Chains A and B, each alone.
Chain A
Amino acid sequence: MGPCVALVGNPNVGKSTVFNALTGLHQHTGNWAGKTVDVAKGVFTWQGETVEVVDLPGTYSLQTSSPEEDIALDYLLHGQARGVVVVCDATCLERNLILALQVLEVTGSVLVCVNLMDEAARLGVHVNLDALEQHLQVPVVGISAGTGAGMEGLKESIVALARGELQGQARPPLPPMERVHIAQAYAQQAVAATPTPQARRQEKWNKWLTSRGTAIPLMLVLLAVVMWLTVAGANLPSSLLSQAFDGLGGLLERWTQGWPPSLRAFFLDGVYGVTAWVVSVMLPPMAIFFPLFTLLEDLGYLPRVAFVLDHAFQKARACGKQALTMCMSLGCTACGVTGCRIIDSPRERLAAMLTASMVPCNGKFPTLLALITLFLVGEGGSLVGAAALLGVLLLGVAATLGCTRLLTATVLRGTPSAFVLELPPFRRPRVGQVVVRSLLDRTVFVLARAVVIAAPAGGVIWLLANLTVADQTLLSYITGFMEPLGRFMGLDGVILTAFVLGWPANEIVMPVMLMAYLAQGSLVDFDQLTGVQSLLEAQGWTMTTAVCTLLFALFHWPCSTTCLTIYRESKSIQWTLVAVAVPTLLGMGLCILVNGVSHLLIL
C-alpha cells in the first residue's frame, strides 16, 4: 500500500463522491449532512503510483462536539496521513474556508479541492481558483466529482501531495472569530455570484417543501407516490420471479428423483421453498423502493423532512434529526440505528435508537402489504394498497413520536439540546447511476440475505415441522406452547412462532408461517395470494387475526442484525433490551386491545 492522504471537509460537500470517483469504490452517498459516519479507505493508482485515500466523516470544525467529528481530528493528529485534501463546496465556499483555514493551522501538507463547480455554475456562482490559491498558499483544484470533471488533475495533485512534494508551512493558530473574518475576506475576493433562474427556482421549491400549507401535503404526496410505485411496480416482477422459481423447482424435482424422500423434501420444500418465496416476494418491492428513496436522498429532500417534522420531535423532547434516521430505518432499521450518530446529544441519540424499529423497514413491507391486500382492502388495486401502506407507515411514525416522548419523560429525561441542521441546495440526482447502483446493491443484499438466512431458516423450519417426538412434531410442541399467549393477542401459536423464528430477518416471517400451516396438513399452492388467503382462512383467520398480525408485524422486537447494531452503538445490554422491550410491549398491548375490543363487539 502506498502513502496515505485523508479527505476532510464540511458535511455534505461531496467527499464520498470524490472518494468514489478516486477509488472506484461505492461508498453510499446522499445529499445531507452526516451521511458518512464511518471512515472509509480505498486506493487509486495514477501513472503507476498507488495512493491510499481515507474518507473521513464530515466535520464543521476541528474543535469537536460530536463523535463523528472526533474521528476526523483524531485521524489528522494521529493517523498516518502524508497529507490532507480539504474538500470544499463551491456553492458555499466562504463557510468551507473556515475549516480549510483550521486544517492549515494543523498541517501545511494540504491540497484544497473545490468540488461541485458544476452546481455552482448552475447557481451563478463563479469561483476564481487562482485567487484562492494565492490567498491560501496551497494548491487549489476545482472539480465536479459527480460528472468526473477535473478528476485527472486532482489525482495528479494528490500523488504529488502523497509524495511529500506539496509541503507548505502551517499557519499560526488564530482565534475563531479572526478565522471567520479571513475566510470572509478570501471568499469575497475569489467568489462572484449572480443568481440565475435556477437559483431562484431552488428558492421557490425550498419554500414549497418547507412552508405551512404546502410542506406536509407535499410530503404525504411524495411518500404516497413512492409507495404506489413500489406496490404497483412490484407485482409484475414478483409474478415473473415466482414463475421462474416454479420452473426451476420443477427441474430440481426431476434432478433429485433418486434422493431419499425425506432429504428431497427437506431440500425442496424447506430450503428451496422459503428461499424462493423470500426472493420473489421481497426482492421486487425492495429493488423499486430503494432507488426511489435514494433519488429523494440525492435531491436533498430528506433534511427538509427533518426541518418540517422537527417541531413534533421538539414536543417529544427529542431531536429533529431523528426524522432523518427514521427515513433510514424505512430502508433498513440497522442502517437507521447507525445513522443515529448524526444526533449530537447522547440522550436524544438513544431515544432515536430505541424507537428506530417502529418505522417499518423494507423487510416488513411485503408482509404488511400481503396482509393489507388479503384482508383489509381486498383486490382494491395498487392505489388502495399504497394508501393503506402509507397509513401503516404513519402509524409507525406516530408510535415513534409517542414512544420517544414516553422515553424522554421516564428513562431518558433531560433538556432538549440545540438543533442545528443544514438544508443543502437541491442537487440534480444522477438518476441513471443512482438507479443502477441501488438496484444492484439491493439485489445483491436481498440475495445474500436469502442465502445466508432464508435458506437455513427454511431447512430448520422443515426439520421442526417433520421431526417427531412421541408422535408429535417439534413444531407443534412450540406452536402449542405459544398458543395461549398467541390467542390472547388475537393471533395463534403458529403466527407467534413465526415471529420468533423470524428474528434473524423479518422477510422470513410470512414464509415460515405459511410453511408451519402447510405442515399441519392442508396443501395449497401458496404462490398465489388467493391460495394464501384460503390457507389462512382454513386455519381460522378472521379480520381480527389479520389486524393483530399486521400490528404485531409493525411493532415487535427488532431483527437480530438491528439488535446487534443497537448493542454495538450503545455498548449496553440494558439499552438493547429496552430497544427490544419497547416495540414488543407496544405491539402486544395493541394486539391485546384490538382482540379484546373485537370480542366485546362480537359478543
Chain B
Amino acid sequence: MNRSWNLAELEEGESGYVMSVSTHPALKHRLEDLGLIPGTRVTCMARSPAGDPCAYLIRGALIALRQADAREIVLRPAHERGA
C-alpha cells in the first residue's frame, strides 16, 4: 500500500521518515529547533504506560510527544512498513 501514515502510528521500535509537519506554528518551530523537518528519520523508542505520550529518537535525542501532536506529523509512505 502506498498510503501515508503519521508519527502516532509508529509501533515501538519502528522508524519512519517525516514527510510534512502540520502542527500549529509554535510547535512546528520547536520541532524545527529539534531538527524534526521533512526528511528526518524518527524512531519510536518507548510508549508511556497510558500509551500517550511516546518517546521518539530524533537526531540522537529522545523526545517525548503527545499523540495528538504526533498525528499531525505525516510520514513518507512506507511500502515496507513493519519490515
Residues on A close to B: CB < 8 A? 60-61, 63, 65, 91-95, 98-99, 176-177, 180, 183-184, 203, 206-207, 210-213, 215-216, 303, 306-308, 310-312, 314, 320, 416-425
A211 touches B47 (CB 8 A): yes
A308 touches B49 (CB 8 A): yes
Majority-rule SS of B interface residues: mixed
Kindly supply a per-residue 1/0 record for chain B positions 18-57, scoring 1 wherever the CB is within 8 Å of any chain A CB and 0 otherwise. Answer: 0000011011011111110110100001111111110100
Given A65-B26, A311-B52, A320-B53, is A420 in contact with B46 using a C-beta cutoff of 8 Å? no
Residues of B within 8 A of A213 (CB): 49
Residues of B within 8 A of A424 (CB): 62
List 19 A-B pairs, Cβ < 8 Å. Answer: A60-B34, A61-B29, A63-B29, A92-B60, A95-B59, A95-B60, A99-B33, A176-B32, A176-B33, A212-B51, A307-B48, A307-B55, A308-B49, A418-B65, A419-B53, A419-B65, A420-B30, A420-B63, A422-B64
CA distance A307 to B50 in the complex (A): 10
11 additional A-B pairs beyond A212-B49, A308-B48, A310-B48, beta carbons within 8 Å, are A95-B35, A95-B60, A177-B32, A210-B49, A212-B51, A215-B49, A307-B48, A310-B66, A311-B48, A311-B52, A320-B64
Q: Does B61 contact A (CB under 8 A)?
A: yes
- B76–chain A nearest beta-carbon distance, Å: 16
Majority-rule SS of A interface residues: helix
| Nearest-neighbor residue (CB-CB) of A61 within chain B | B33
| Nearest-neighbor residue (CB-CB) of A212 within chain B | B49
B33 touches A177 (CB 8 A): no
| Nearest-neighbor residue (CB-CB) of B26 within chain A | A65
A419 touches B64 (CB 8 A): yes
Residues of A within 8 A of B60 (CB): 91-95
A420 touches B64 (CB 8 A): yes
CA distance A446 to B47 in the complex (A): 41
CA distance A421 to B63 in the complex (A): 6
Residues of B within 8 A of A306 (CB): 64
Residues on B close to A: CB < 8 A? 23-24, 26-27, 29-35, 37-38, 40, 45-53, 55, 58-66, 68-69
CA distance A261 to B33 in the complex (A): 70
CA distance A215 to B51 in the complex (A): 12
Most buried by A among B30, B31, B40, B58: B30
Residues of A within 8 A of B69 (CB): 418-419
B64 contact from A63, A177, A307, A416, Cβ within 8 A: A307
CA distance A203 to B57 in the complex (A): 11
Residues of B within 8 A of A183 (CB): 35
| Nearest-neighbor residue (CB-CB) of B52 within chain A | A311
Residues of A within 8 A of B38 (CB): 177
B35 touches A180 (CB 8 A): yes
B48 contact from A177, A215, A425, Cβ within 8 A: A215
B63 touches A422 (CB 8 A): yes
Residues of A within 8 A of B65 (CB): 418-420
Residues of A within 8 A of B52 (CB): 310-311, 314
CA distance A401 to B32 in the complex (A): 32
A211 touches B27 (CB 8 A): no
Residues of B within 8 A of A203 (CB): 45
- A192–chain B nearest beta-carbon distance, Å: 13
B37 touches A180 (CB 8 A): yes
Residues of A within 8 A of B62 (CB): 206, 422-425
Residues of B within 8 A of A210 (CB): 46-49, 55
Residues of A within 8 A of B32 (CB): 61, 176-177, 180
Residues of A within 8 A of B40 (CB): 180
CA distance A502 to B50 in the complex (A): 40
| Nearest-neighbor residue (CB-CB) of B65 within chain A | A420
A65 touches B64 (CB 8 A): no
Most buried by A among B38, B47, B59, B68: B59
Most buried by A among B33, B60, B65: B33
Name the 7 nearest CB pairs between A and B, nearest first: A311-B50, A61-B33, A60-B33, A418-B27, A423-B62, A421-B64, A212-B49
Residues of A within 8 A of B63 (CB): 420-423
CA distance A206 to B47 in the complex (A): 10
A98 contact from B23, B33, B51, B66, Cβ within 8 A: B33
